[in-house]
């Protein structure tokens, strides 16, 4: 309910690619001998990769390696897989420090830093609240005050201790649970971009269902990769030009449950325990995908005043918040950094 979609959301994600898909020329430019493109179902949505390579065999090998790397990482931090490393860590909450793999240790450390950056509005310990509201949706019954209080007592990034030197993570309270749905896709794209850069790739676009995107360089023959940004009503809000940046797009009601005829979104405010109910879309540009993802959730939760103020205080980060009526609020630098072209 907080970030990651389940596999059944893949068809909707694939439809969104029609809006978010880059539109490079059919023929590659002189500095892009071959443009290789492929997509696979990964992390509950469609991951599409487009990259320039010296030849097709090399390009296809790089794309295949990227998909394989995502599969490896998903086995580490998926909460839908009871055998994943994160699921096992959650089961050990309250039992002291647990030794974890380097990828999980890094993801936890990065997530805790992002929680501090967003003043607690982004928090990967939101797992108990995700479980509570998921159950409430299935039962068509709002959580009681006692249930909500009990879940909130197990949420808070200060309940996590990560020791990089020892390679351990501790969930200090029994019943606490990590949920990386709000950051995993962007964080994973960061790792893929690191590998592609090391392999000499200078032009690539990676997109998780149009919600988490990372660009290396520009589309062949172009100055940027062109990305369509939809509005909360499903229409086209405008176009973004992406180059050597990451973009995260989050919707408050992208997935929702109905309880008593009232819609409750999948993004939950970890500070109050309540899901968002107002239909809005947030898009954030940042140098890396993990930061873009965390800030897009923070922008939704903090809203047009405090969320925009947070972005204005951060260098090289900017964003836009759009509501279902089409009204929008932008942070300083969004129009220029995003090369924003709103729909007329």
DSSP string, 84-143: SHHHHHHHTTTS--EE--HHHHHHHHHHHHHHHHTTTSS-GGGHHHHHHHHHHHHHT-PP
**What angle do helix axes 102-117 and 184-198 make, rounded to 10 degrees?**
120
b/e burial code for range 214-234 (CB count within 10 A of at least 16 → b): bbbbbbbebebbbbbbbbbee
CA angle 193, 197, 203 (to 5 degrees): 85
List, for residues 12-67, the tens digit of each pLDDT value: 333 333 334 444 433 456 689 999 999 999 999 999 999 999 999 999 999 999 99
b/e burial code for range 126-142 (CB count within 10 A of at least 16 → b): bbbbbbbbeebbeeeee
174 is in which domain, residue-wise?
85-182
* DSSP-assigned letter for residue 5: P
In a domain, 275, yes or no: no
In a domain, 253, yes or no: no
Q: Are 218 and 225 in contact (CB under 8 A)?
A: yes
Mean pLDDT of 135-154: 96
Place of tokens 């989050």: 250
In a domain, 217, yes or no: no
In a domain, 156, yes or no: yes
Q: Would you state the pLDDT for residue 250?
A: 96
In a domain, 111, yes or no: yes
How is residue 243 written in tokens?
Answer: 């180059």
Q: Would you state the pLDDT for residue 31?
A: 81
List, for residues 239-268, the tens digit of each pLDDT value: 999 999 999 999 998 788 899 999 999 999
How is residue 242 written in tokens?
Answer: 């992406």
In a domain, 249, yes or no: no
In a domain, 159, yes or no: yes
**What angle do helix axes 102-117 and 289-312 make, rounded to 10 degrees?**
10
How is residue 198 written in tokens?
Answer: 């090391």
Cα gap 254→75, rounded to integer Å: 25
The reply to whether the predicted model has a pTM over 0.85 is yes
Q: How many domains does the chain have?
A: 1
In a domain, 69, yes or no: no
**CATH code of the domain containing 120:** 1.10.3980.10
């Amino acid at each position: 309910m907080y970030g990651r979609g389940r596999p059944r959301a893949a068809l909707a994600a694939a439809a969104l690619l029609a809006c978010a898909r880059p539109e490079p020329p059919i023929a590659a430019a002189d500095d892009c001998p071959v443009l290789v493109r492929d997509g696979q179902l990964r992390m509950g949505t469609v991951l599409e990769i487009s990259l320039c390579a010296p030849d097709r065999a090399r390009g296809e090998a790089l794309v295949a390696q990227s998909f394989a790397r995502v599969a490896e990482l998903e086995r580490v931090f998926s909460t839908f897989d009871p055998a994943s490393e994160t699921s096992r860590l959650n089961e050990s909450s309250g039992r002291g420090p647990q030794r974890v793999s380097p990828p999980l240790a890094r993801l936890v450390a990065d997530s805790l830093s992002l929680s501090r950056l967003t003043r607690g509005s982004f928090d990967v310990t939101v797992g108990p609240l995700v479980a509570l509201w998921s159950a409430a949706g299935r039962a068509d019954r709002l959580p009681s005050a006692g249930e909500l209080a009990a879940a909130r007592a197990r949420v808070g990034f200060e309940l996590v201790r990560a020791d990089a030197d020892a390679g351990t993570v501790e969930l200090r309270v029994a019943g606490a649970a990590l949920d990386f749905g709000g950051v995993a896709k962007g964080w994973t794209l960061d790792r893929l971009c690191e590998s592609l850069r090391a392999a000499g790739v200078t032009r690539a676009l990676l997109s998780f269902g149009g919600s988490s995107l990372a660009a290396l360089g520009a589309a062949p023959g172009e100055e940027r990769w062109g990305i369509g940004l939809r509005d909360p009503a499903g229409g086209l809000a405008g176009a973004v030009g992406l180059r050597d940046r990451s973009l995260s797009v989050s919707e408050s009601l992208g997935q929702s449950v109905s309880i008593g005829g009232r819609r409750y979104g999948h993004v939950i405010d970890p500070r109050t325990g309540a899901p968002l109910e107002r239909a809005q879309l947030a898009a954030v540009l940042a140098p890396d995908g993990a930061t873009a993802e965390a800030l897009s959730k923070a922008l939704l939760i903090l809203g047009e005043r405090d969320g925009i103020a947070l972005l204005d205080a951060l260098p090289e980060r900017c964003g836009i918040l759009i509501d279902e009526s089409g009204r929008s609020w932008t942070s300083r630098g969004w129009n220029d950094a995003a090369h924003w072209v709103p729909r007329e």
